[in-house]
């Protein structure tokens, strides 16, 4: 009986390992399909910045882009950058994966900007008035100096 149990456990581990993705190509961890959300955000490249904007038709601000991208994959996030920060889990900079949120201090406010990490030290964001949704480099001195934290979305609703 115990040999049977050991065999079942070992077989389960092998099967689960076989289903896991170790190549880093598909980012689906927890209940969140981060890869799909990242692709949604990439589809918004070139959409104009609009303060308070949260649709491709009107434009996006930084937190509106995040809300929209994750809403398309069934994730409900708070509307403001600070509330998004508070409702997600902290992760070390060395553990950032595509789909994680990056938070920055642009103005006096401690947390005033958010972007979605793409991988390869790049993130997508809605920068500011007069600009469009675009990709920036985290290792750019401007962003590196203003980087506050990386945080992870982990479930369906973050309120």
pLDDT tens sequence for the chain (159 residues): 444 333 333 333 332 323 223 333 334 445 689 999 999 999 999 999 999 999 999 999 999 999 999 999 999 999 999 999 999 999 998 999 999 999 999 988 889 999 999 999 999 999 999 999 999 999 999 999 999 999 999 876 655
Residues 26, 34, 36, 113: which is the catalytic one?
Answer: 113
Angle at 72 between CA 126 and CA 49, to 5 degrees: 15
Residues 19, 28, 36, 62: which is the catalytic one?
Answer: 62
Contacts of 146 (CB under 8 A, 6+ apart): 104, 105, 106, 113
Residues 19, 94, 125, 158: which is the catalytic one?
Answer: 125
Contacts of 9 (CB under 8 A, 6+ apart): none
Please say if 125 is a catalytic residue. yes
Out of 3.90.1720.10, 3.20.20.140, 3.10.560.10, 3.40.50.10210, the CATH code matching 28-152 is: 3.90.1720.10
Tally of CB atoms within 10 A around 87 = 17
pTM, whole model, 2 decimals?
0.80
């Amino acid at each position: 009986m115990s040999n049977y149990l050991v065999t079942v456990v070992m077989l389960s581990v092998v099967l689960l390992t076989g289903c896991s993705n170790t190549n880093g190509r598909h980012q689906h961890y927890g209940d969140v399909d981060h890869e799909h959300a990242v692709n949604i955000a990439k589809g918004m490249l070139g959409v104009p910045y609009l303060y308070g904007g949260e649709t491709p038709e009107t434009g996006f601000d930084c937190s509106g882009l995040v809300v929209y991208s994750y809403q398309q994959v069934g994730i409900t996030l708070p509307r403001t950058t600070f509330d998004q920060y508070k409702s997600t889990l902290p992760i070390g900079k060395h553990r950032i994966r595509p789909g994680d949120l990056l938070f920055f201090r642009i103005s006096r406010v401690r947390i005033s900007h958010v972007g979605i990490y793409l991988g390869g030290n790049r993130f997508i964001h809605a920068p500011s008035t007069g600009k469009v949704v675009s990709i920036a480099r985290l290792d750019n001195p401007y962003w590196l100096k203003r980087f506050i934290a990386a945080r992870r979305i982990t479930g369906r609703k973050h309120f």
